Amino acid sequence: MYKQHGIRGFIKDYDFKLIFLVLALTVLGIFAIGSAKQEVQGRQVLGMALSIFVMVVVSFVDYHFVLKLYQLIYAVNLVLLGLVLSPLGYNAGGAQRWLKIGGIRFQPSELAKILLILFFAQFIMLNRERLNNFGIILLSLLLIAVPMVLVVKEDLSTTIMIAILYCIMMYLGGLSYKLILAVLAITVPVSVIFLTIVIQPDQEILKEYQQKRILAWLYPEEYKDTEAYQQNNSMMAIGSGQLLGKGYNTNEISSVKNGNFISEAQTDFIFAVVGEEWGFLGSCLIIILEFLIALECALIGWKARDMAGHVIAGGIAGLVCFQSFINMGVATGLVPNTGLPLPFVSYGLTSLVSMYLGIGFVLNVKWVSRRARND
């Protein structure tokens, strides 16, 4: 395949820089997870090995071939999300988000983000000349609405993330600025109205625990011993780390993990562990790595040979960027408490493998684009 350019051509065309950034962030995440909950660190290491294998394999499969199966990808996605609501669905921590088949348990909503990026990459590619047509916009809304309805029954935060991804992909596909401004003009006041309604005592839109999370974010002092407890402790932990932190795997009984001030710190609040033990500098390192990964994906998308590659790489960049912001925003009190993991850092094999799957496709976008130029 690289007879003309040899090993030098392969190294030039394959994005080892992106791989290094992803591996570095994952290794840091494994250390943080080991400090938060030692017994699951080994599983995350195995998850990383599996994820690397998936990423490498996918990176050499031409994404055009995969996108030809876009209708099947969409159907499989719906089936997996639907099965979560069936007897095969597994409830943990009060939420039914997992499928358990035999001894294997995974979270389809994490995989759904990647599958929807692939599906809409092809959908936008096929309809790029008519993307601003009312019929195509309506069809795209219907296509994104179905998985969102299934996911919202399991996880509101993932539903919001999918909605953000949809907006990013449609923007990358060339949606008219006039339509974007019109949507924003409607969305902003509707969001304010929605927020006003859902905090009312008799509202029936959100579940009780979802409403309380919003109320705890708006009125943390009133919920300091209940729903706002974890977020308040997370902010105190990050602040207590100061510049250099308390040290890796600190044995201070007052720390968030040793004092059990945050439940499941290895997942949603892993950034609190990082901030407390590694301090401001360690937190900045995590933020910079997430940003550089998103930036590298965005640059690959910018140079992609076609619209499908542009949407895939840009969609993954948006996923890393916005999901990182939301997770860190929860840990620092900027946004209400959600259940979104910090990409490549939080414990969770489904999330880790899914993110590496997405990176594999981004690597392939660059590889295919470079090969096309070389030929």
- Residue 162: closest CA among 109, 83, 95: 109
Q: Mapping DSSP to helix (H, G, I), strand (E, B) and coil, where does residue 101 land?
A: strand
Distances (CA, A) of 42 to 37, 39, 105, 127: 10, 7, 17, 45
Q: CB-based burial of residue 206 (10 Å sphere; 0-12 exposed, 13-18 middle, 19+ buried)? A: middle
| Stretch 211-237: mean pLDDT | 83
* pLDDT per residue as tens digits for the range 343-357: 999 999 999 999 999
Evaluate if residue 100 carries a pLDDT over 80: no
pLDDT greater than 70 at residue 373: no
Number of H helices, E strands in the chain: 14, 3
Q: Distance between CA 108 and CA 41 in Å, rounded? A: 22
Q: What would the pLDDT profile of 72-89 be if each residue is shown by its tens digit?
A: 999 999 999 998 887 777
Tokens linked to 1:
């395949």
Asked whether the predicted pLDDT for residue 249 surpasses 60, the reply is yes
How many other C-beta atoms are found inside a 10 Å radius of the C-beta of residue 148? 20
Confidence of residue 208 (pLDDT cuts 50, 70, 90): confident
Unique residue bearing structure tokens 């596909």: 173
255 lies in some domain: yes
The answer to the question of residue 367 being in a domain is: yes
CA 152 vs CA 15, 22, 123, 132, 274: distances in Å:
36, 29, 23, 27, 30
pLDDT of 265 > 80? The answer is: yes
Q: State pTM to two decimals.
A: 0.91
Alpha carbon distance 345, 32 (integer Å): 8
Q: Are 50 and 353 in contact (CB under 8 A)?
A: yes
Q: Quick one: what percent of the chain has pLDDT higher than 70? A: 93
Q: What is the C-alpha separation between 252 and 250, in angstroms, rounded?
A: 6
Residue 75 placed within a domain: no
- Report whether pLDDT(51) > 70: yes
> Residue 369, Cβ neighbours under 10 Å: how many?
20
In a domain, 122, yes or no: no
Domains of the chain: total: 1
Range of the domain at 343: 1-68+221-317+338-375
Mean pLDDT: which of 20-34, 91-105, 195-209, 260-274 is highest?
20-34
Is the pLDDT at 366 greater than 70, yes or no?
A: yes
C-beta of residue 210 within 8 angstroms of C-beta of residue 155: no
* Domain annotation covers residue 62: yes
The answer as to whether 52 is a domain residue is: yes
Instruction: Round to whole Å and give the CA distance between 323 and 320.
Output: 6
User: Which of 106-115, 195-204, 318-327 shows the lowest mean pLDDT across its residues?
Assistant: 195-204
pLDDT in tens, 152-167: 876 778 998 999 999 9
